[in-house]
Copies of this chain bind each other. A is one copy, B any other.
């Protein structure tokens, strides 16, 4: 899947939305979909759908549209969810534990290997942060680390993860982490989202 030019952030953020619609259509046993229909589902224009898709290849057929299941598979390849990933969680607070026990991950190919905490909670099957080593990351082929510690400790955890060779971080702490540019970060800033909501309420 050699991609010519850089895909814009705007397009990348729409990929999961396309995928969600395709999953929905597929689950309803719908076989074909046009750019116009997809556009309506995402509340964008048909032009944009076709423009977006053209970044990755030619998936449709003139006069017909797109085969839902085929397109869904293409999107799984594009997003990279045709593979499985091993994850660890750092921070065994309420959120960390909630993510740890969320079964939806496993069914989508995301396996949580272990849950770490700064404080010693070894009684609850939670590992001490001291056992988080380069060795551990390598032996367990950890692809993604999820940070759910509080924002004060998040940067030092990120530093440690980077040192251990983690290349992908899913960050829930309300702070912009500073990491080398070969490390991917994706933030889930909950309070930012809540603030956008309060902004809208007030205007």
Interfacial residues, chain A to chain B (CB-CB below 8 A)? 3, 7, 12-13, 15-17, 19-20, 78-81, 85, 93-95, 97-99, 101-102, 104, 108, 110, 143-144, 167-168, 170, 174-176, 184, 186-203
Check B199–A15 contact: CB distance below 8 A: yes
Q: Are A168 and B102 CB-contacts (below 8 A) given A12-B196, A15-B196, A194-B110?
A: no
Please name 9 further chain A to chain B contacts, defined as beta carbons within 8 Å, in addition to the given A12-B199, A81-B198, A98-B98, sorted by A numbering: A15-B199, A16-B195, A17-B192, A80-B201, A94-B97, A95-B95, A144-B197, A186-B194, A188-B190
Check A191–B95 contact: CB distance below 8 A: no
Enumerate chain B residues within 8 angstroms of A143, measured Cβ to Cβ. Answer: 201
The CA of A200 and the CA of B191, in the complex, are separated in Å by 24
Q: Which residue of B lies closest to A78 (CB)?
A: B199
Q: Pick the contact of A98: B95, B168, B191 (CB < 8 A).
A: B95
CB distance from A125 to the nearest CB of B (A): 15
Rank and list the top 7 A-B pairs by shortest CB-CB distance, nearest first.
A94-B98, A80-B202, A16-B192, A186-B197, A98-B98, A80-B198, A16-B195
Q: Are A16 and B189 CB-contacts (below 8 A) given A79-B195, A94-B102?
A: yes
Interface CB pairs A-B, < 8 A, 13 = A12-B199, A12-B200, A13-B192, A13-B196, A15-B195, A15-B199, A20-B174, A79-B198, A79-B202, A81-B198, A97-B98, A184-B201, A187-B193
**Interface hub of A7, A13, A190, A199 (most chain B Cβ within 10 A):** A199
Q: Are A3 and B97 CB-contacts (below 8 A) given A79-B195, A170-B193, A190-B188?
A: no
The CA of A12 and the CA of B198, in the complex, are separated in Å by 11
CB distance from A202 to the nearest CB of B (A): 4
CB distance from A126 to the nearest CB of B (A): 15
Q: Which residue of B lies closest to A146 (CB)?
A: B194
Check B98–A199 contact: CB distance below 8 A: no
The CA of A97 and the CA of B97, in the complex, are separated in Å by 10
